[in-house]
Amino acid sequence: MDMFTLAGKNAIITGAASGIGRATAIRFAQAGAHVVLADKSDASTLADELGGLFVHTDVTDENAVEALMRSVGTAAPIDILINSAGITSEAALPDVELAELERMLRTNTNSVLLTMKHAAAHMTRGGAIVNVSSLAAYVGLPTYASYAASKAAVIALTRVAALEYGPLGIRVNCICPTSVDTPMLHAQPSGDVEAMLARIAAPLGRICQPEEVAALLHFLAADDCPQISGQAVAIDGGATAGFSIAILESLTAALLDPAVA
């Protein structure tokens, strides 16, 4: 028996042009899946390299999402759906613009609802949906109000979908990564600072790599995990276990500094 094989599986991955989505497409293809890379950015070269298919898709557009699911599902049933498309922004609460919150919700939340809404009719019994939420969904981070709200909603949608799709034999889970070393992180104004803080906050002492997130997505998507559904799984280097030694040492040094006193 080949453990965690995805041989013969038809997998759709949104946000597959870069970051977590790209790493996931590569890993799934290596595990035997036929991968469909859905993104607004061009991922055709990667799709060709993986023997898969690139479908230009705006995941905030319901007509585009429905067309994606119909076209893929007509050719072969959909076994796996990975929702990794996402964006981020930063603003202190007094500076949050409603338009920016709505932009976060359209891409990070509405897209998950739309893909799950239209994928189910084309999915096989035993299929798996895994959504990418964020550690920000349940650990407060200053200046991330809009992003955190959009990702918290993903956890709620995941749980509802697990209840509704369970009788169809479809498992639905989500993952909650800490900061991940992706182009999106480094494009943020404070991305380098966030990366440094992620290393300090994690007891393991390093930032998460997209390939490590892809490994968790693979675990949850495989048939080897038939009883895991409705869960939000953190991947954070141990950050939510408590204060890391690095944080405690930094705080202690600051408290003992005469200049602070």
Active site residues: 147
Partnered with residue 11 across adjacent β-strands are 35, 80
Q: What is the Cα Rg of the chain in Å?
A: 19
Six-digit token pair at 2?
């080949």
Q: Single out the residue of 221, 22, 27 nearest to residue 131, CA to CA.
A: 221
SS3 12: strand
Contact, 122 vs 73, CB < 8 A?
yes
Q: Single out the residue of 159, 151, 152 nearest to residue 129, CA to CA.
A: 159
Q: Single out the residue of 234, 21, 238 nearest to residue 137, CA to CA.
A: 234
